[in-house]
Amino acid sequence: MAMMRGQQGARRGQMILYLALLAVVVGCMVALSMCDKPAEAADARPSGGDTLDIAIEYSPVTYYTYDDTLGGYNYDLLRMMAQSAGCHLKFHPVVTLEKALDGLESGRYDVVVAQFPMTAGDTSRYAFTEPIYIDQQVLVQRRDSHAIRSQLDLAGDTVWVVKGSPMVGRIASLSREIGDTIYTHVDELYGPEQLMMMVSAGEIRYAVVNRSIARSMATRLPNLDRSVAISLSQFQSWMVSKERQGLCDSLNRWHRQLKLDTASYLGLQRRYFGGTFPTLAR
């Protein structure tokens, strides 16, 4: 009995910790949204000249801040490319994908860098660069529930996704494939990292995020399972306005040039992904 009480106390302690973490994230997101409003008005026009305005998504893989350090695979890769090409970049961190896409369509941003797999339907709306890395969409759930063991088990359940994400279309396709309805809750406020924290804290049951983000959060949220794949492996690219194919070509050229520096390029992949992507390492 004493052991059971101890285990229950430990679980309660973990839950309190996760809820506290979630409260901190929610508070930070609210503060960011309030502080950004005057900045957005002053920053509504593109920089112009030889400066590229980059809308970059907050995530452990794409762009993050830790103390006074900035990092992220896409962030570091872009800085390496800019240094090699001699161009200037201005980064605009965003939490929601919808905001980034709106800015791209209005001309405020030149490039959107986010967890957005290239799909056939989206190529009619945006110009995509050559693949930057490979990822996969996975289901995130609590280990102690482990109710979903395959895609078929999702029938009749609800999963949360980020607004503007092509994952909405993937869930719809999966519903047709299994012959039953999978409901989708599209969240308008949070990014994939925050959805994972909500699953961890028991606020929601399931979320669909990219495997790279789920893996990078594994040590911080050890009570989450990410073993159920929702999609096949997919290329992740950067997005440019459909009318700016020349910029897309320049980004591809700078990327190919950077690949020639094999040690730096593959070293960056190992740093963030623990390995390299053979199809992208040429």
Residues 226-280: tens digit of each pLDDT: 999 998 888 889 999 999 999 999 999 999 999 998 889 999 988 888 777 755 5
Banded pLDDT at 2 (limits 50, 70, 90): very low
Position 146 pLDDT exceeds 50: yes
Q: What is the pLDDT at residue 134? A: 86
Q: Residue 244 carries which side chain, given as an amino acid letter?
A: R
Q: How far, in Å, CA of 78 to CA of 139, rounded?
A: 29
DSSP letter, residue 86: T
Q: Enumerate the β-bridge partners of residue 133.
A: 236
Closest CA to 206 of 273, 149, 136: 149
Q: What is the DSSP letter of 282?
A: -
In the prediction, which pLDDT does 121 show?
A: 66
Q: Determine the pLDDT at residue 133.
A: 87
CB atoms < 10 A from the CB of 247, how many?
A: 16
Asked whether the predicted pLDDT for residue 40 surpasses 50, the reply is no
Residues 6+ apart with CB under 8 A from 261: none
Residue 46: per-residue pLDDT: 73
Per-residue pLDDT for 8 more than 60? no
Residue 44 has pLDDT above 70, yes or no: no
Report the share of the chain in percent with pLDDT over 90. 46
Give yes or no for residue 15 having a pLDDT over 50.
no
Please give the mean pLDDT across all residues of the chain: 82
